Amino acid sequence: MAVVLVIVGHSQVSFSGRLTIAGSVGVAVFFALSGFLITSILLEGEGFVRFYRNRALRLFPAMVVFVLLAGAVQQVRTGVPMVRVLPAASYLGNWLDLPGSMTHLWSLAVEQQFYMVWPVAIALVARWRHGPLVLCLAGMTGSLALKLALWDGGAGAARLYAGSDTQAWALLSGCLLAVLAHRGLVTLAVPRLGVAVVAGSAFAATVPGGPLSNAVVVPLVVPVVAALLVWAACGGDDPLLASSALRYLGRRSYALYLWHPFALGVGVWLAGHDLTALVLGVALTLLLAEMSWRLVEAPFLRLRAGRAFVSAVSAPAHAPVAAPLPALQAQAGAA
């Protein structure tokens, strides 16, 4: 549902101007989910070597294919040289300018920078029982203080929205949930949670956007709500959230996110700024995501699971975690 919000927010049809906040909401949910999933994996005891190998095999192949193909098409159509894809390929897109169909990669840069820092931080405090909890709370406090200080200092919405430091609050909201689950947080089943999530997502997509809401309010509020929803979802088996359609989109959400601006742009190029363009763009997005999943991502996931990549020095310690978490990770497919 998060990736659906992003696609809606980035659509270029005539009515999309009223849905600009949808993309911000979707990205905020993604950050919370990433923090939750990555911290859950780390608290299970996955070593550095295995962690970074798994991240590389999961994320780099699809990214490289997208950057090369989209960059080549962009060079042919607009004359933008391929060298402009370097900020995207190096995961620095939140600090450097990105070419047209790659501007959305700023969020992947934020996550990759988080992946480089967070495992080390967790390892440094792991021997202290309360270390991960204090680390999450201290990080959230610092990120919030920086965000408010920069906003009051007139740094601008773009700096607040794209900064890996100011977006740390969103990632750490999910990290905090994972830490609490690791410490034995009891989940609570919420009836009709799926219906409530869909209704809330639809409402959030229609809230008027603006610099304050996009750069401050959404990144602060939505990740906390998303973490609460994940906590509630772990406690039950909501039929809507477990539907095959959502699971299908969830497994391909990374590819959907990578390819949707390119595909939506093709739709506009073919049909103008009307509903037909959106339909064509979404259809092409689904097609490209399916090709990415089958031809690139799934083979590397199988490679990642092969015995040749099992390292004794990085074998997980199998620390106890809340029972629903491994099942959720297995279902996610994007771990």
pLDDT at position 80, please?
81
Check whether 307 has a pLDDT greater than 50: no
Q: How far apart are CA 34 and CA 327, in angstroms?
A: 16
**pLDDT tens readout for residues 209-266:** 788 888 889 999 999 999 999 999 888 888 888 899 999 999 999 999 999 999 999 9
pTM of this structure = 0.87
Q: Are 40 and 174 in contact (CB under 8 A)?
A: no
Q: How far apart are CA 193 and CA 232, in angstroms?
A: 8
Check whether 168 has a pLDDT greater than 90: yes
Q: 106-125 and 168-182 helices cross at what angle (nearest 10)?
A: 40
